[in-house]
């Protein structure tokens, strides 16, 4: 086991060198030597060529291992660390240097060795023939000592001639003056090497004198005609004679000795600019350079800033005073401004005046420059004006055209409203509300954004709205969407910003107000019935609840278009409204729409409604075409008999009367008829004159109803008509009402009643009342007719002689009676003119089965007329 210590190289320096030496000794105590043994060398004769390059590896003692690395601890600058070759001539200072050789092999017991090299001084080679020019204030004396090798730099110079012009290693020939001066450079001794010195003798030669010139400076607006023959010698003095003149291309000089120029011609040819005319003098010794002086003919251009714009950025608010920055931007006008530096003078007028002249630079026609914040210390408008501009490289020959170049910078006040007054009228639920801000505020006319909170029956936070201020009074709207609930409200304005100046401020301004409920119209309905043309149209409203005085906004669409606002009174939730006739000029279907309902007691309304009902105005039918009519009294004509008639017509007894029923009996006079449509609309009435013609009933002559039924031909209605007195032809019917008209040839029947009416061939009427005639055919003379009683009959149903009948007895003896007995004396049958014929059946209860058997029966005929006795006889019944 053994302790391994790695020894690292240290940087150059005395303290580090001591540490390194101690470290090196420590390493040597414990390790075998593989880096070789330390060595040292002193080199005094620096210029000796054999001393230029030293192989340090070859200086190591022992048996160093090749391939190690070299370290230049003091960074001498002469060691090639790869090869170990030290270039002594490359070291600029005399000193003792330590170089370290390290072998990176872990098996080596000693892997570090050092070589110590002492470099003697070298002062260069003395030079008795150095030269300098008296205009050179920094002549480097080292340049005269040679450079192979270079003199070392850590020596010192001595002014042997006491010129007082030595400045370190430099000669200031402007101080020494003309002459020859000696200067010695000495390197001190080091180690075994002695000090060395070298001397330089410097002769200072005079520099040529080109003279002192003055420039001719003009503005292109000046009169240059006075400079057409300018002598350059008038603008130079103190120059050495024999010099030569030259120029920069104006062609004004004819040769090196010509001294006259034409400035007017220069301007006319080349315009504004700087034109040089140079006088050159050669030196007496080549160590000095030729000297020249130049006369400048400067023609400056007058700049025109007309139309230029100045923008001061930017306006600020009151609370930014003292901490804002302000930048002015000047932009050229119609004329291009050359790039370059300018002195710019500006002036500020306003609440406080100030100004300044500053250095600015134009680039591409634009210049920006700051303005101190202290220039704008108060609220107000400041006018910043450019009053003067000149080039910094120029000669101020021209007064440039500035004109009015200005801008206004505003320091705006903060909007302050806490001492103001808010005015808010009580408003309606779900309606926009106007808020007025007035009183003690500092608000200028314009627009402001207000931030506010709402509390109470409706709450909202951090709401923003634009307020417009006119004449010191601001107004803004609270939107209906925030006012949905009725009740007490409070608004608090918390912030305000001027939208023109963007200046803002906190606020704490409040006001209370009331939100009134809007009317409940959820149950409101409108009903409008269809009407006929010219009839009033009535809107019937319901569902108003507790509302009493109501304003309705409505519109009409469809066949009629109109709109209107009407106030109506409601009772128990209902109301009516007659739509103005001048809004209903057209027939057809019209829709009535309620768009808004306002409670007049609170002025609150419900809008955006669509409560509708449609109705139809039907066109009146055409007035019927009529003719006068005539009826007979006997016809008992009624309204149903009038023409036109039917369900499409209505008849009236007067112009304004009620309709007549169809069974109304007509009388002579005027009647009125109107057409009625399927919708019940009634036309204008037409008048019809009705005439009722009446005839008196006919009169029967006395006994005119009596006839003999046995007469031949048999009596007819024509015979009856002959017994009637009338005005026209008598018409007979078998019944008084709804009877059948009988022809005149109708044979009269005994006991039948006939109804006779008088008739007029002219009018076709018959009398209303009839003559009732009951005809009697029993008025026959007995002596004129023989009564034949048959002696038998055969009731067997063969249609021949089936009854026992006494022919014509009813005409001769109308009141007769007939009795028939069987052989036992029982009554079988009783009859009279109403039952004159016996059919062989008993109509008496004495016969059980009622059917008379064949046999002989007996009859008794009672004539009951006059005193004619009854007649008896027998008859035979044979079935």
For residues 852 and 815, the answer to whether their CB atoms sit within 8 Å is: no
For residues 25 and 110, the answer to whether their CB atoms sit within 8 Å is: no
Of 17-31, 277-291, 689-703, least confident by mean pLDDT is 17-31
Q: How many CB atoms lie within 10 A of CB 66?
A: 8
Among 173, 194, 193, 191, residue whose Cα is nearest residue 183:
173
For residues 621 and 676, the answer to whether their CB atoms sit within 8 Å is: yes
Domain-terminating residue out of 239, 273, 300: 300
Handedness of CA 54, 56, 61, 65 (dihedral sign): negative
- Residue spans of beta strands (DSSP E) within 619-752: 629-632, 649-652, 669-675, 686-693, 699-700, 724-725, 729-733, 741-742
Q: Tokens in use for 286?
A: 């080549």
Shared domain check, 561 and 529: yes
What letter would DSSP give residue 323?
A: T
Residue 1, pLDDT score? 25
Shared domain check, 154 and 138: yes
pLDDT (tens digit per residue) in 575-629:
999 999 999 999 999 999 999 999 999 999 898 999 999 999 999 999 999 999 9
Which position has the higher pLDDT, 32 or 541?
A: 541
- Flag whether 633 is in a domain: yes
What is the rounded CA–CA span in Å between residue 169 and residue 186?
12
- Flag whether 364 is in a domain: yes
The 3 state secondary structure assigned to 558-610 is ECCCEEEEEEEECECCEEEEEECHHHCCCCEEEEEEEEEEEECCCCEEECCCC
Shared domain check, 678 and 723: no
- Flag whether 3 is in a domain: no
Shared domain check, 403 and 427: no
Residue 743, pLDDT score? 94
Secondary structure (3-state) at 235: helix
Among 582, 548, 554, residue whose Cα is nearest residue 566:
554
Shared domain check, 688 and 706: no
Give the best-scoring range by mean pLDDT among 30-44, 162-176, 629-643: 162-176
pLDDT (tens digit per residue) in 807-839:
888 888 888 999 999 988 899 999 998 887 899
675: pLDDT strictly greater than 70: yes
Residue 760, pLDDT score? 87
Length of the chain: 879
Shared domain check, 82 and 56: yes
The 3-state DSSP composition of the chain as helix, strand, coil percent (nearest 5) reads: 10, 45, 45
Shared domain check, 191 and 273: no
Of 3-7, 506-510, 725-729, least confident by mean pLDDT is 3-7
Residue 766, pLDDT score? 87
Residue 289, pLDDT score? 95
Shared domain check, 546 and 460: no
| Per-position DSSP letters for 55-84, written without gaps between them | EHHHH-BS-PPTT-EEEETT--S-EETTTT
What is the rounded CA–CA span in Å between residue 369 and residue 329?
7
Residue 635, pLDDT score? 82
What is the rounded CA–CA span in Å between residue 363 and residue 383?
25
For residues 107 and 64, the answer to whether their CB atoms sit within 8 Å is: no
847 pLDDT band, cuts 50/70/90, is: low
Shared domain check, 595 and 557: yes
pLDDT (tens digit per residue) in 216-275:
999 999 999 999 999 999 999 999 999 999 998 899 999 999 999 999 999 999 999 999
- Flag whether 394 is in a domain: yes
pLDDT (tens digit per residue) in 456-497:
999 999 999 999 999 999 999 999 999 999 999 999 999 999
Shared domain check, 195 and 225: no
- Flag whether 592 is in a domain: yes
Q: Report the CATH number at residue 249.
A: 2.60.40
Domain-terminating residue out of 102, 119, 136: 119
Domain-terminating residue out of 119, 146, 170: 119
Q: Tokens in use for 428?
A: 């309606």
Handedness of CA 44, 46, 47, 50 (dihedral sign): positive
187: pLDDT strictly greater than 90: yes
pLDDT average, residue stretch 88-97: 95
Q: How many angstroms separate the Cα of 457 from the Cα of each of 395, 488, 521? A: 79, 6, 22
pLDDT average, residue stretch 92-98: 95
Q: Report the CATH number at residue 402.
A: 2.60.40.10
What is the rounded CA–CA span in Å between residue 445 and residue 436?
14
pLDDT (tens digit per residue) in 407-425:
999 999 999 999 999 999 9
Residue 849, pLDDT score? 61
The number of angstroms, rounded, from the C-alpha of 703 to the middle of its chain's C-alpha atoms is 113
What is the rounded CA–CA span in Å between residue 321 and residue 853?
160
pLDDT average, residue stretch 724-729: 90
Residue 27, pLDDT score? 40
What is the rounded CA–CA span in Å between residue 793 and residue 789?
11
Residue 9, pLDDT score? 36
- Flag whether 623 is in a domain: no
- Flag whether 520 is in a domain: no
For residues 205 and 287, the answer to whether their CB atoms sit within 8 Å is: yes
Residue-range definition of the domain harbouring residue 275: 212-300
- Flag whether 9 is in a domain: no
Of 183-197, 391-405, 736-750, 778-792, least confident by mean pLDDT is 778-792
Shared domain check, 314 and 408: yes
Give how many domains the chain has, as a whole number: 9
Run of H or E residues at 56: helix 56-59
Shared domain check, 605 and 542: yes
């Amino acid at each position: 086991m053994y302790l391994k210590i790695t020894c690292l190289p240290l940087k150059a320096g005395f303290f580090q060198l001591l540490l390194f030496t101690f470290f090196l000794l420590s390493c040597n105590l414990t390790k075998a030597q593989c880096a070789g043994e330390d060595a040292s060398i002193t080199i005094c004769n620096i210029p000796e060529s054999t001393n230029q390059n030293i192989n340090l590896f070859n200086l190591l003692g022992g048996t160093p291992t090749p391939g190690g690395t070299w370290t230049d601890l003091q960074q001498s600058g002469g060691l090639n660390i790869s090869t170990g070759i030290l270039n002594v001539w490359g070291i600029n200072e005399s000193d003792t240097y330590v170089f370290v050789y390290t072998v990176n092999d872990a098996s080596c017991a000693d892997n570090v060795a050092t070589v110590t090299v002492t470099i003697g001084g070298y002062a260069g080679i003395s030079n008795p023939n150095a030269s300098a020019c008296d205009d050179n204030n920094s002549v480097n004396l080292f340049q005269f000592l040679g450079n192979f090798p270079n003199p070392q730099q850590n020596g010192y110079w001595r002014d042997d001639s006491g010129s007082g012009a030595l400045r370190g290693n430099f000669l200031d020939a402007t101080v020494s003056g003309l002459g020859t001066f000696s200067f010695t450079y000495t390197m001190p001794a080091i180690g075994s090497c002695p000090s060395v010195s070298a001397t330089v003798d410097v002769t200072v030669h005079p520099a040529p004198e080109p003279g002192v010139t003055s420039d001719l400076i003009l503005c292109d607006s000046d009169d240059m005609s006075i400079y057409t023959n300018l002598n350059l010698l008038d603008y130079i003095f103190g120059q050495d004679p024999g010099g030569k003149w030259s120029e920069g291309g104006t062609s004004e000089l004819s040769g090196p000795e010509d001294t006259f120029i034409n400035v007017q011609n220069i301007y006319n040819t080349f315009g504004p600019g700087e034109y040089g005319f140079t006088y050159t003098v050669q030196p007496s010794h080549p160590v000095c350079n030729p000297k020249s002086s130049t006369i400048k003919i400067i023609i400056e251009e007058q700049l025109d800033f007309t139309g230029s714009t100045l923008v001061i950025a930017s306006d600020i608010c009151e609370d930014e005073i003292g901490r804002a920055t302000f930048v002015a931007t000047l932009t050229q006008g119609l004329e291009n401004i050359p790039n370059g530096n300018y002195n710019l003078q500006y002036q500020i007028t306003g609440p406080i005046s100030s100004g300044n002249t500053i250095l600015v630079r134009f680039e591409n026609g634009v210049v920006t420059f700051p303005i101190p914040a202290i220039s704008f210390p108060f609220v107000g408008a400041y006018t910043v004006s450019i009053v003067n501009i000149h080039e910094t490289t120029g000669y101020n020959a021209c007064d440039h055209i500035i004109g009015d170049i200005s801008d206004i910078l505003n320091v705006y006040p903060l909007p302050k409203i806490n001492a103001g007054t808010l005015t808010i009228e009580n408003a309606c639920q779900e309606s926009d509300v106007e808020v007025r801000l007035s009183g003690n505020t500092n608000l200028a006319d314009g627009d402001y954004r207000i931030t506010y909170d709402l509390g109470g029956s409706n709450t909202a936070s951090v709401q923003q709205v634009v307020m417009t201020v006119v004449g010191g009074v601001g107004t803004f709207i609270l939107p209906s969407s925030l006012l949905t609930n009725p009740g007490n409200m409070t608004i608090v304005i918390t912030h305000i910003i001027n939208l023109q100046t963007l200046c803002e401020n906190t606020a704490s301004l409040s006001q209370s107000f009331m939100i009134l409920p809007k009317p409940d119209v959820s149950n409101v309905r409108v009903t409008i019935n269809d009407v006929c043309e010219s009839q009033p149209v009535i809107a019937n409203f319901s569902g108003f609840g507790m509302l009493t005085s109501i304003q309705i906004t409505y519109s009409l669409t469809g066949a009629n278009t109109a709109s209107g606002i009407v106030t109506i009174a409601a009772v128990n939730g209902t109301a009516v409204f007659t739509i103005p006739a001048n809004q209903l000029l057209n027939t057809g279907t019209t829709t009535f729409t309620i768009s808004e309902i306002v409670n007049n007691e609170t002025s609150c309304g419900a809008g955006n409604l669509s409560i509708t009902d449609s109705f139809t105005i039907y066109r009146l039918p055409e007035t019927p075409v009529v003719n006068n009519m005539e009826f007979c009294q006997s016809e008992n004509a009624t309204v149903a008999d009038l023409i036109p008639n039917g369900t499409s017509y209505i008849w009236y007894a007067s112009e304004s009367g009620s309709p007549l029923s169809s069974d109304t009996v007509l009388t002579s006079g005027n009647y009125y008829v109107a057409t009625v449509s399927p919708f019940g609309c009634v036309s204008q009435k037409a008048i019809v004159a009705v005439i009722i013609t009446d005839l008196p009933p006919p009169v029967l002559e006395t006994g005119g109803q009596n006839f003999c039924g046995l007469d031949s031909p048999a009596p007819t209605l024509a015979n009856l008509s002959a017994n009637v007195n009338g005005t026209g032809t008598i018409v007979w019917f078998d019944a008084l009402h709804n009877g059948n008209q009988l022809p005149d040839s109708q044979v009269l029947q005994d006991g039948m009643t006939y109804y006779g009416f008088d008739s007029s061939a002219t009018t076709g009427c018959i009398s209303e009342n009839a003559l009732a005639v009951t005809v009697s055919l029993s008025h026959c003379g007995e002596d004129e007719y023989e009564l034949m009683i048959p002696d038998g009959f055969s009731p067997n149903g063969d249609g021949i002689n089936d009854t026992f009948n006494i022919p014509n007895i009813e005409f001769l003896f109308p009141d007769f009676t007939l009795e028939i007995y069987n052989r036992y004396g029982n009554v079988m049958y009783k009859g009279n003119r109403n039952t004159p014929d016996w059919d062989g059946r008993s109509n008496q209860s004495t016969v059980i089965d009622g059917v008379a058997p064949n046999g002989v029966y007996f009859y008794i005929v009672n004539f009951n007329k006059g005193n004619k006795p009854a007649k008896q006889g027998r008859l035979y019944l044979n079935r």
